[in-house]
Structure 1
Amino acid sequence: MCGIAGIYHLETPKPVDPARVDAMCDALAHRGPDGQGVWTAPGVGLGHRRLSIIDLEGSPQPMASLDGRAMLVFNGEIYNFRELRQELREAGARFRTEGDSEVILAAWQRWGPDCVTRLHGMFAFAIYDLGARTLFLARDRLGVKPLFMAQLSDGSLAFGSELKALLAHPLLRREIDPLAIEDYLAWGYVPDNRSILKGVTKLPAGHSLLLRHGAPMPKARQWWDVSFAERRKGRVEDLEAELLHLMRQAVSSRMVADVPLGAFLSGGVDSSSVVALMAEASSRPVKTCSIGFDVAALDETAYAGQVAQRYATDHRARRVSPDDFDMIDTLAGMFDEPFADASALPTWRVCQLARETVTVALSGDGADEAMAGYRRHVFQHGEDRVRALLPQGLRAPVFGWLGAIYPKADWAPRPLRAKTTLLSLAGDSAEGYARAIGVTPPELRENLYSGDFRRLRGDYRAEAPMLELMRTAPARSGLDRAQYADLKAWLPGDILTKVDRTSMAVGLEAREPLLDHRLIEFAATLPEAMRVRGGQGKWLMKRTMRRFLPDDILYRPKQGFVTPIAQWFRGPLAGPARDICTSALLARTGWFDNRSLTGLVDAHLAGTSDNSRLLWQLFMLERSFTKMGIA
């Protein structure tokens, strides 16, 4: 696990200043505290920061192929590198190291750009082929590892593991993209199809780029996708056995490391399943850690303790409190772009806790997206049944009118908070799901924006790319399309961004076994009844894990890693909530209507509405701009 950076001249192979690449790498020092290297040649420069996990002394980067014809910088882990090395050796390749980096180089020299299809793991890498004078950039299937890019005024392409690497380049423009603000307010993050800065892009998950000197900038090529268009047949017992085999294979392959290894344990189904399978595969107690909260209703540490006791893990737990709010500037600096998933704070804290004893930690991320584990998946499944019974011509006016007049009753018990459901039923399946996963709905954004910002945004709406993604998905049903959108947008944009930045900030490698692509591809073929049944998501996975975990872990209501910001903003953090209304930075942008903003803050503090997520979005927007030097 590391950080990479580089510069490539697209037109003429002009010299690259090694000091410039070095400065980009310095901005990524947290990702790789164990070593640094820079290599340059006419028209190209590659840089690397290393966190040593496998072959601790023998795989420095940038790494040259054995024949010196290719140069690599690589961020990630290849879990099948030993099998690949054996296959390549039998085909005539020779190796001088014991790590996975040299295997990527040998795979490139044998299979070219198609080498990525042979790699099982998480990765973002760059290979410069000295003979062909080409640069190959690739990102893993699900987008576990990031890669930012920007074309600069001197004709070069700069790239790096984080935006801060590009910010270290003096030619990078620091102009905010107003469409990214619309995206951020809608979703709580800037999705992978955009960046907060104009001119900066992200290589999409499962895509690659092959660049040549003198050739125009090509479009990224998609080399992997997941299809929900097929349905697997067979007995439940057989599907259960196959799922368990894939989960065991995914967990055991991610337990290979030459450094101490452990796991995050929240007490939910996913992390508990990973820990159970780790304990099965390990001869030593698994090192586990968990984070709780000072709000009892949101604290899951007791469930984590129950699993830890069951599997005799070496377990440690801590709590997050409003006092951690003092570290928000540090948190904002980890992400560069504004990022408003409040669970980033406890995720960072659990990474800090893990790093005290291990260098690698396995997480349970990915199962909800793959197996339909979110509450919104169950709702989507049910709402689609209603949509099938009532024609759109009837639903749109009736549910649209009811949704418009129904109060936003955040204070009421959950069954009485029907506004979102009514508005969702008024639209088609894709429109309903886009509303379900949004943070700030379109109506609230319109009230919040100033007239000037509406003119800047024009006709663009954040929901449009999401609707297009769902409507063109290789899928059969609304549930399929919802999960496809989660895997393609929500997962890389929110969940994996959160885990990558918070873990790398403390020099910890996080691995996600439940995102093994073979497991994802299997789950996508499951009949809907194997995913959602009886008001429960992840039906087959929970059934499979009953031999490992008790029912009160598997079947209790899903909690999620929820930070109690609503309570904090009405209590110890009421002051910072009010400060949002008077923020000089937000006022200077001219994007927001101050009267509407003040009303939202007052309503939250009074307890008549829960606007905590929007307040957190605005707070993190302000702090992120400050950290980026755009204040």
Structure 2
Amino acid sequence: MCGIAGIFHPDVPKPVDPARIEAMTNALVHRGPDGGGVWTAPGVGFGHRRLAIIDLSEAAAQPMLTADRRLVVTYNGEIYNFREVRAELEAKGHHFETQSDTEVILAAWRQWGPDCLARFNGMFAFALYDADQDALFLARDRLGVKPLYVCQLSDGAVIFASELKGLMAHPLLRRSPDPTAIEDYLAFGYVPDDACIIAGVRKLPAGHFLHIRRGREIANPVRWWDPDFSSPVRGSARKLEAELVDRLRAAVTSRMIADVPLGAFLSGGVDSSAVVAFMAETSRTPVETCSIGFDVAALDETSYAEEIARLFATNHRVREAAANDFALIDTLADAFDEPFADASAMGTYQVSALAREKVTVALSGDGADEAFAGYRRHRLFRNEERARALLPGPLARGVGALGDLYPKADWAPRMLRAKTTLQALGQGSGLAYANAVGVTPLALRRRLFTAPLHGYRAEARYERAFAEAPANDGLSRAQYADLKIWLPGDILTKVDRTSMAVSLEAREPLLDHRLVEFAAGLPARMRLRGGTGKWLMKRALASRLPHDILHRRKMGFVTPISDWFRGPLAGEAAAIADGSALAQTGWFDMTAIATLAQDHRAGLSDHGRTLWQLLMLEKSLQRLFGLGAIKAPDKAPRQRKARRAAR
């Protein structure tokens, strides 16, 4: 795992200052503490920070050049099947000097060009310069495990980096907040995978590449992979179950290749337990596992993790974290750069730090919920879809209008909180699902966020995904949207930034693309049956995992943020509305924010997640744009600064 950065002049080959590349990569040292390198040529420069995982020798250092110096690559990630691809290339006459997967990328490009991507099974983001084409090629893995930020500067140069802080080290990057990204963030709790909070910066979307030839117009990114739910396979549950076991085993085993210590996160849930089970089958030594416990019994899963650790005789370590440990807020804000409001990032950071004490690589259980329909929202949405299909248009609209009138009862038992369900029945499927996964609904955002967006709605992203989904049913469309939006924007961003902050490589075997494609090809009833999500997966694991692990209530890393804002963080919530970075943008109704905090503190409403969003946005605006960090002495300068930020 590594950090990459670079500069390419697409018009004319202007000189590239190596010191500028070095500054960009120095901002990424946490991603690669084992070494760094810089390479430049007329009009192009690459930088690399190395976390050595496979072939620890200096021969595998990057940026890596071919023997004829016509190809250069800087690369972040792992190609798990690099030995198989290497053997195929050797049969075609290619020769190799190292045992690294990096050299395989160079040879595969020379042999197949952009088509080489389809042959890779892995997580990656890489930049390759081809001197014969005088072109830059940027590529990102299928599901977006590894990030890549891209921007074109005022002098025409294209710059890229693994994290936003790498781009910010370039002096020509203009820092101005993008209001549409803030709207997206308020809606979902993260800035989506293809967007960025800094105007003009974008992330290369998951499963896309960008091919820039000098002297030609820069084209749009090209999608080279997409999940397909449209052609369900036929077969008995028994046959598909056996195939699934084989695919799970292969996915886990392929991710156990490393020349450094390797272990696993173990929460005691189905997914991490499954990964550990297959690791234990393969490993000749006890698997290193770790988990984080909490000092609140309702949030603590360590007893389940310890049950699995005993079952598979792992070397298990547990560390308890206080449920009110919000001291990590600034650490997380620095790690993410962009605002990120999934509070479970605290637990993920803590378990990553614990793992790094013993291992350099840790396998996680992320991805199965998205691929095999494991979230509670999948079950609720499927039921809503069935009800929606029975309601003619006028009746559906009437039910939705009734939902608008129904009181919002945060305090009531779940069965009495019918408002959102009634509203969803009156909406289209894409909008209803967007609201189901969202954090701050549109009506509340309009009260808080006053910037003119000319009709822009964050929910339209989900409506487009539903319309474009290669799928024949509502559940599959929802899962497609999860894989395209939620997974790379939230889950994979969380794991990448928190693990890389402590120089740990996290691998997600349950996101092996062959496994995801297999899941997408299952009939919907084999992903979700009755009230059981991940139905076929749980059936396939029944002989390996205890019943109480397979069928217990899903917990995850839960952080009691609503309680915090009625207790130790009540002052922080109030401070947001008083001379903060949010106020200096001029985009927010600070009176509305103050009322939100007061109502939450008084117990009149539950706005904990929205307040957490606002707090993390405040921290990000301070770091990225210098807002709010120093109070202006009088009102006039603050107004001028707000106008600059808005521009």
Pick closer, same or farther for the CA change 1:36–1:427 going to 2, 3 Å: same
Residue 362 of structure 2 contacts residue 507 of structure 2 at CA under 8 Å; is this kept in 1? Answer: yes
| 2:604 aligned partner | 608
Residue-by-residue CA offset, 1:393-417 (whole Å, 9 max, x unaligned) = 211122x222112222222222222
Distance 1:168 1:312 in 2: 46
Structure 1 residue 610, shift from structure 2 partner: 1.6
Residue-by-residue CA offset, 1:250-281 (whole Å, 9 max, x unaligned) = 00000000000000111111111111111111
Q: Secondary structure at the match of 2:318?
A: strand
2:529 to 529, 533, 542: 533
| 1:5 aligned partner | 5
Distance 2:175 2:325 in 1: 30
Q: Secondary structure at the match of 2:235?
A: coil
| 1:91 aligned partner | 92
Distance 1:449 1:196 in 2: 15
Residue 529 of structure 2 contacts residue 535 of structure 2 at CA under 8 Å; is this kept in 1? Answer: yes
Q: How does 1:422-437 map to 2 (within 5 A)?
A: 422-437=422-437
Residue-by-residue CA offset, 1:568-593 (whole Å, 9 max, x unaligned) = 22233333233223242221122222
Structure 2's unaligned 5+ residue stretches are 628-647
| 2:508 aligned partner | 512
Distance 1:208 1:585 in 2: 36
Residue-by-residue CA offset, 1:205-234 (whole Å, 9 max, x unaligned) = 111111111111111111111111011111
Distance 1:536 1:566 in 2: 29
Q: Which deviates the most, 419-428 or 370-379? A: 419-428
Distance 1:154 1:134 in 2: 18
Residue 169 of structure 2 corresponds to residue 168 of structure 1: yes
Q: How does 1:362-373 map to 2 (within 5 A)?
A: 362-373=363-374
Residue 293 of structure 1 contacts residue 563 of structure 1 at CA under 8 Å; is this kept in 2? Answer: no
Structure 1 residue 629, shift from structure 2 partner: 4.0
Distance 2:587 2:294 in 1: 34
Query: Aligned AA for 1:624?
Result: S
Query: Aligned AA for 1:584?
Result: S
Residue 33 of structure 2 contacts residue 503 of structure 2 at CA under 8 Å; is this kept in 1? Answer: yes
Q: Secondary structure at the match of 1:326?
A: coil
Q: How does 1:182-201 map to 2 (within 5 A)?
A: 182-201=183-202
Residue 332 of structure 2 contacts residue 346 of structure 2 at CA under 8 Å; is this kept in 1? Answer: yes
Residue 66 of structure 1 contacts residue 94 of structure 1 at CA under 8 Å; is this kept in 2? Answer: no
2:466 to 461, 470, 477: 470
Distance 1:581 1:244 in 2: 53
Residue 295 of structure 1 contacts residue 564 of structure 1 at CA under 8 Å; is this kept in 2? Answer: no
Q: Which deviates the most, 15-24 or 581-590? A: 581-590
Distance 2:298 2:417 in 1: 19
Distance 1:50 1:242 in 2: 37
Q: Which deviates the most, 617-626 or 287-296? A: 287-296
Residue 294 of structure 2 contacts residue 323 of structure 2 at CA under 8 Å; is this kept in 1? Answer: no
Structure 1 residue 82, shift from structure 2 partner: 0.6
Residue 20 of structure 2 corresponds to residue 16 of structure 1: no
Residue 66 of structure 1 contacts residue 95 of structure 1 at CA under 8 Å; is this kept in 2? Answer: no
Query: Aligned AA for 2:611?
Result: L
Pick closer, same or farther for the CA change 1:98–1:48 going to 2, 3 Å: same
Structure 1's unaligned 5+ residue stretches are none
Distance 1:202 1:584 in 2: 28
Residue 322 of structure 1 contacts residue 568 of structure 1 at CA under 8 Å; is this kept in 2? Answer: no
Q: How does 1:38-77 map to 2 (within 5 A)?
A: 38-57=38-57, 58-77=59-78
Query: Aligned AA for 1:485?
Result: A
Residue 539 of structure 2 corresponds to residue 548 of structure 1: no
Q: How does 1:329-340 map to 2 (within 5 A)?
A: 329-340=330-341
2:594 to 583, 594, 598: 598
| 1:443 aligned partner | 443
Q: Secondary structure at the match of 2:132?
A: coil
1:481 to 465, 477, 491: 477
The normalised TM-score by structure 2 is 0.95
Distance 2:527 2:2 in 1: 36
Q: Secondary structure at the match of 1:546?
A: coil
| 2:410 aligned partner | 410
Structure 1 residue 513, shift from structure 2 partner: 0.1
Distance 2:127 2:282 in 1: 34
Pick closer, same or farther for the CA change 1:556–1:616 going to 2, 3 Å: same
| 1:386 aligned partner | 387
| 2:499 aligned partner | 503
Structure 1 residue 532, shift from structure 2 partner: 1.0
1:522 to 518, 521, 524: 518
Distance 1:543 1:609 in 2: 41
Structure 1 residue 300, shift from structure 2 partner: 1.2
Residue 232 of structure 2 contacts residue 521 of structure 2 at CA under 8 Å; is this kept in 1? Answer: yes
Distance 2:543 2:161 in 1: 44
Query: Aligned AA for 1:420?
Result: T
Residue 623 of structure 2 corresponds to residue 622 of structure 1: no
Residue 277 of structure 2 contacts residue 544 of structure 2 at CA under 8 Å; is this kept in 1? Answer: yes
